Structure 1
Amino acid sequence: MTDTATPSYTSFNGHKRIAAGNLPVNALAVKHALASDAPPPLLIFSDQTGQVVDIDMRGSDAEMLARLSAEESPLQGNASAPMDPEESGAPRGRGRPKLGVIAREVTLLPRHWDWLAAQPGGASVTLRKLVDEARRANVDRDRQRRANESAYHFMSTMAGDMAGFEEASRALFANDAAKFHQLTQAWPADVRDYVRYLAYPQPLTAMPARAP
């Protein structure tokens, strides 16, 4: 799995990898493969989730790309970070600066409230610090969990009937990389390399940008 703000994709014709990069590159590769009567399946996978991406390939290349552009624009707009009040130029009222905090109810036992009240800065500051510390402590574990899920989505689609699938799945979620590599070694090269890339991110060699 690639942990990036820019979505990327990889396309397969059967067990052969035919394209990698942004969505238009992959869509064109698959559309051209379909036009050349390439045998199915022809699938586009998200490098972030390992799941199949469905594309409306009707019409000309230009028409298809125009639809993709129209569909992607709202998503990109929603993904933009909210503007900081200081950067927006909006007038600021008197009092403490706005930090973008959201008020919600938190239910704790009395001893928890007593402990929080005794901390420097009070309960709110202490809770924010605790959450930030937990996020930092768990970032690697969360990243690996997402990678495992991405790899499993892909291998369920492409390798569900291959030898060693069940054992490889167990090794994947046990984070036993050595056993996972061993159990996937006999799989078709492009499928094997890509599922390893999703599970334990590493460079993919000889990755074509588009179908020939």
Structure 2
Amino acid sequence: MTFHTPSSCTAFEGVRRIATGTLRDVAAAVKRAHDRAGGEPILVFDDATSRPIEFDLRGGVDDVLARLADAGANGAGAAGTAGQDDEPAAARSRGRPKLGVVAREVTLLPRHWEWLNAQPGGASVALRKLVDAARLAGADKQRVRLAQEAAYRFMTAMGGNLPDYEEATRALYANDRARFERMIAGWPGDIREHAARLAAAAFCEVT
């Protein structure tokens, strides 16, 4: 099991952005806002993915930060996002450690193996080159997709009940920046600015 620990995050109290920065900085700001009487609901988002983050707010600010530090030291990331690591330790130890080579079974038809084995360096080198080329070719599409997902998560959480939300999401996935900006123009300023920042990487030409 691996954990993604956000490098930065943003907290909102109601429609107002109250902090952006490291986990420690935002956790301290969230704790102070939480302790104020009559405060609005507070939501915290990973700046890269817009996945929600929760802090353990028991005790004082020092207690909150201490738990955050302890969790980070243990590799769990107190505000991290858990992910499944499908590489067993034994599998990672095989191959040539300096190159990080991992041996796995690949099933191909005979004609595929014949072509791969005829390439300079053999099948393994040819496969690595093919994978690298495919990764480069799909990098722009991947970046756009991730930006769309991050913007959509934030918009759904913070703008789902705001005017023109559905039209704004359609514009986001249609790569229509002008229409997107028109649809969110009437949203509260902090929400509008954060949504626009998240969506910026989605509005580009994909080759």
| Runs of at least 5 residues in structure 1 that lack an aligned partner in the other structure | 78-95, 202-212
In the other structure, the counterpart of 2:40 is 40
In the other structure, the counterpart of 1:171 is 171
Which residues in structure 2 correspond to 1:115-154 (within 5 Å)? 115-154=115-154
Give the length in aligned residue pairs: 179
- When the two chains are superposed, the root-mean-square deviation of aligned CA atoms in Å is 2.0
TM-score, L = length of structure 2 = 0.80
In the other structure, the counterpart of 1:158 is 158
In the other structure, the counterpart of 1:24 is 24
TM-score, L = length of structure 1 = 0.78
Corresponding residue SS for 2:53:
coil
CA contact (8 A) 2:32 2:61 kept: no
In the other structure, the counterpart of 1:86 is none
In the other structure, the counterpart of 1:81 is none
Higher relative contact order (CA 8 A, sep 6+): 1
Distance 1:133 1:114 in 2: 20
In the other structure, the counterpart of 2:198 is 198
**Is 178-187 or 8-17 further displaced after alignment?**
178-187
CA contact (8 A) 1:13 1:38 kept: no
What is the Cα deviation at residue 173 of structure 1?
1.9
In the other structure, the counterpart of 1:206 is none
Distance 1:130 1:118 in 2: 14
What is the Cα deviation at residue 97 of structure 1?
8.5
| Runs of at least 5 residues in structure 2 that lack an aligned partner in the other structure | 78-95, 202-207
Partner amino acid, structure 2, of 1:161: N
What is the Cα deviation at residue 99 of structure 1?
2.3
What is the Cα deviation at residue 122 of structure 1?
0.8
Partner amino acid, structure 2, of 1:61: V
Distance 1:166 1:145 in 2: 18
